[in-house]
Each structure stands twice: as C-alpha cells, then as structure tokens.
Amino acid sequence: MSDFSVCVIIPAAGRGERFGGEKVSQEIGGRPMLLRTVEIFTRRPEVASVIVAAPPDGIDAFMSRFGAQLGFHGVKVVPGGRAERWETVSLALAHVPDGVTHVAVHDAARPCTSDELVSRVFDAARVAPAVIPGDPVRATLKRVSAELVAAAADDAIADAILGDAGREAAQGRLVEATIPRDRVVAVQTPQVFEIGLLRRAYAQPDLAGVTDDAMLVERLGEPVLVVDGEVRNIKVTTREDLLVARAFASMPASAAPRQW
C-alpha cells in the first residue's frame, strides 16, 4: 500500500422514502445510479477498495440486480443498517481491509461528482485528518415554527376573502428568525478521514440523529477541513433531483457547472 490509500464506503441501504421508492437503480446517462457512483472511484489510483452497504433485508435482490457489475469492479457488498445512515457506515467500517490509511464515505445518490472534486478532497486529506466538501448556501435561510398556523378564527376579513377552503390553503409556519448565510455551506460527500479517527468517532455512544460522518468527528473536538464543493454534486433525494442529475450527466464534463 502507498502512504495514502483509501477505502471508499458507499451507503446504499436506504429505503428512499422521500424519493418514493428505490433510488439507486434509476437510470442516469444509460446506467444505474449506483454504478455511476461506484465508477467515480474505481478509476482512482488512491482507492484500494470499495465497499457498498446494501439493504440488509434485500441482499438477494440487490445482488441479482447489481452483483455481477459490482463484482467486475472488485466491490465488496455488505449488509447495511435498517434505520439510520450512521448504522450503515458503522457496519461497513468493520469490513475495511487492513493497510488502508483513510476511509472516504460517499452517498450512493451522488452520481455526478466530478473527478476534480474527488482530487481536491483527496489532496487535502493527505495533510488534514478530516476533509469534507461544502458548497456555499445562496438562498436566504429562515427558521420557522414547528407548528402549522392558519388564518385566525375571528379574522372576519380573512374569512370573507378566503373562506374555509382558502383558510386551509393559507396554512403555514411562522418565521422565528432569519439565519445569516455568511460562511454557511451545504455539506457534500465524499468525506475523507484518517481511518483511526473515523473509528474513534464511531466508537462514541449515542449516535442517534447523526446525519453525516463529520458530525461525529466534530464531537471529538477534532478539526474538520472544508474544501470547495460543486453544484453538480447533487444528492438525489426527490424525483425532481433525478431530473437535475440526468441533465448534468448529459452535459460534457467541461460544460457542467461547478458553481452558480
């Protein structure tokens, strides 16, 4: 092994509830999403191994769909978790081979990540123990109330204009605060960590609610370096996201936007 060798973990055990069904078999640019994502890393000389964590209750169907192609790329398939993403990554960590220096965790639903972004993250990881890509937030952000509100029952003007149906359509949440977006980034993957650091992070108690691996490193009080992400590194969460990913995949690499 070299002094910088990476095992890539690709969590693919999610049920795609917000998407409305199984995501990773959706075609993007003529190939299933999962294979496009895997192929981002199989061409990299720094990558010593790739682990895909699959749905634990659907391994047979998963292997029937993807097994031959993943095997061609030398990918190891292991069972993931049943509930939260952190469970899947934790289970996959147990299968990381000896000899690698770093672990990269990359969402299975990010099939449009550019080679330039991976190089940027990997280069930073050679000198920093924890590296993640982040894309600057461009929208105005507001924190809103947990409860839905509607037109007040004694608001005669609203009643006259909206009526019962209109009042239902006017339901929403109240603004509690506007969040400054200066120095706020939307975090992406791949996230890369020294293997010992990531194992320490996952050895902590009470991981419920963790949404990315860097959160656990932050809990240890360890620094996390953020490098530039890119717009095209979209995570497919909804059907609309799938349309955007397909559009990016159809563009020549030089034409696809990195930043807006």
| CATH superfamily to which 6-136+184-250 belongs | Spore Coat Polysaccharide Biosynthesis Protein SpsA; Chain A (3.90.550.10)
> How large is the angle between the packed helices 115-125 and 33-42, nearest 10 degrees?
50
Average pLDDT over residues 88-113: 97
Q: Which residues contact 55 (CB under 8 A, 6 or more apart)?
A: 12, 13, 14, 15, 62, 79, 80
Residue 235 pLDDT > 70: yes
pLDDT, mean of residues 123-152: 93
Looking at residues 30-34, what average pLDDT do you find? Answer: 95
Domain parsing of the chain, residue ranges: 6-136+184-250, 141-179
Calculate mean pLDDT across residues 218-229.
97
Pick the closest to residue 166 from 182, 177, 155 (CA basis): 155
Express as a percent the part of the chain with pLDDT over 70.
87
Rounded to the nearest integer, the mean pLDDT of the chain is: 90
pTM, rounded to two decimals: 0.88
- Residues 193 and 225: their CA atoms lie apart, in Å, by 10
Radius of gyration in angstroms for the set of CA atoms belonging to the chain, rounded to a whole number = 21
* Interval 70-96: pLDDT, tens: 999 999 999 999 989 999 999 999 999
Residue 161: half-sphere exposure toward Cβ, Cα within 13 Å = 8
Q: Could you tell me the CA-to-CA distances from 147 to 19, 144, 155 in Å, in that order?
A: 24, 9, 19
End-to-end CA distance of the chain: 39
